[in-house]
């Protein structure tokens, strides 16, 4: 293989990796947007009287690194909003998913610590999915579909 051929091959591989990376980033952004929409919907369905934060504030989750801290506020305020709505409507939502959401936030932060991230990453992912499903279920309850 000539030097020119190896340069062309390296360029093709680099371009392929770039495209793959951009595709992964786009999928990640799409997932984040659907997650944020679920949180925003929960706050909207709870009603203005029960909202512990403005629904538009959840979009701050799109800010890299800041979202590690802001996620704690989102989990707390979404849970508290759901609990407030439930108390007024005679529904039992226990902690409204707060505990599992909090574990997801903590594990997500621990994901920044080398070696610990090997355990924290999967824990964060599983807990985040459970929290998201719980909130989606509460959204159905609040919209009268449950």
Domain ranges of the chain: 31-142
Centre a 10 Å sphere on the Cβ of residue 108 and count the other Cβ atoms it contains: 20
**How large is the greatest C-alpha to C-alpha distance in the chain, in angstroms?**
76
Here the tokens at position 132 are: 């998201």
Express each pLDDT in 26-40 by its tens digit.
999 999 999 999 999
Here the tokens at position 92 are: 């039992």
Residue pair 120/107 in contact (Cβ under 8 Å)? The answer is: yes
Centre a 10 Å sphere on the Cβ of residue 111 and count the other Cβ atoms it contains: 18
| 67 vs 69: CA distance, rounded Å | 5
Express each pLDDT in 126-144 by its tens digit.
999 999 999 999 999 999 8
Q: Name which of 90, 106, 97 is nearest 131 in CA terms.
A: 97
pLDDT of residue 1: 62
**Over pLDDT 90: what percentage of the chain?**
83
**pTM here?**
0.88
């Amino acid at each position: 293989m000539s030097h020119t051929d190896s340069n062309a091959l390296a360029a093709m591989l680099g371009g392929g990796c770039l495209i793959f990376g951009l595709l992964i980033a786009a999928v990640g952004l799409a997932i984040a947007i659907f997650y944020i929409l679920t949180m925003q919907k929960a706050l909207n369905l709870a009603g203005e009287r029960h909202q512990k934060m403005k629904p538009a504030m959840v979009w701050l989750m799109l800010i890299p690194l800041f979202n590690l801290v802001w996620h704690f506020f989102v989990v707390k305020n979404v849970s508290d909003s759901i609990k407030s709505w439930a108390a007024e409507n005679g529904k039992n939502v226990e902690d409204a998913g707060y505990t599992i959401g909090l574990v997801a936030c903590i594990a997500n932060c621990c994901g920044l610590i080398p070696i610990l991230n090997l355990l924290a990453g999967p824990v964060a992912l599983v807990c985040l999915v459970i929290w998201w499903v719980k909130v989606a279920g509460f959204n159905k309850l609040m919209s009268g579909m449950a």
